[in-house]
């Protein structure tokens, strides 16, 4: 049931392969790269009817996204660029796709969050480069 996704989650392991992912998306600024690699986000997910609320808290910012599964929304990428995103919730999986609306040739980013009881495994993939991170349910 998709509501088992709801709750508060804290990152237990940082993303593997993050440096390679940042290379793939063209992030060259060393200060931003260091900041992204050092983040330890907390995530809060809630559902009200058909509307989902996804909040990601870091020491640098808060990302708050409201969405209906399968509908395109405007949001920001991991490097802070405006993107078109589609988030789809199917059972215990939340998939998110990012596309650059101004550059159709830009690489698409795929984020898959798989929930299993009190663990969330996040896959972040750009081209053939993938990183994994694990979160633990805290509430």
Tens of each residue's pLDDT in the chain, 139 residues? 456 899 999 999 999 999 999 999 889 999 999 999 998 999 999 999 999 999 999 988 888 999 999 999 999 887 778 999 999 999 999 999 999 999 888 889 999 999 999 999 999 999 999 999 999 999 9
> What CATH superfamily classification does 2-137 receive?
Calycin beta-barrel core domain (2.40.128.20)
Predicted pLDDT of residue 3: 60
What is the distance, to the nearest Å, from the Cα of residue 110 to the centroid of all Cα atoms in its chain? 8
Predicted pLDDT of residue 1: 43
Predicted pLDDT of residue 26: 87
Model-level pTM? Answer: 0.91
Torsion sign over Cα 38, 66, 85, 8? positive
Q: Which residues contact 7 (CB under 8 A, 6 or more apart)?
A: 44, 45, 137, 138, 139
Could you tell me if 9 and 118 are in contact, meaning their C-beta atoms sit under 8 angstroms apart?
no
Predicted pLDDT of residue 80: 78
Predicted pLDDT of residue 60: 82
Kindly list the domain boundaries of the chain, sorted by start residue: 2-137
């Amino acid at each position: 049931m998709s509501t088992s996704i709801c709750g508060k989650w804290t990152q237990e392991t940082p993303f593997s392969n993050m440096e390679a992912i940042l290379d793939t998306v063209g992030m060259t600024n060393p200060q931003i790269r260091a900041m992204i690699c050092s983040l330890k986000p907390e995530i809060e997910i809630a559902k009200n009817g058909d509307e989902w609320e996804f909040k990601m808290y870091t020491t640098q910012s808060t990302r708050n996204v409201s969405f209906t599964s399968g509908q395109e929304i405007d949001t920001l990428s991991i490097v802070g660029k405006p993107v078109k995103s589609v988030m789809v919730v199917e059972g215990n999986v939340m998939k998110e796709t990012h596309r650059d609306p101004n550059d159709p040739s830009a690489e698409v980013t795929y984020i898959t969050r798989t929930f299993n009881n009190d663990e969330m495994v996040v896959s972040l993939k750009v081209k053939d480069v993938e990183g994994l991170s694990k979160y633990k349910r805290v509430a």
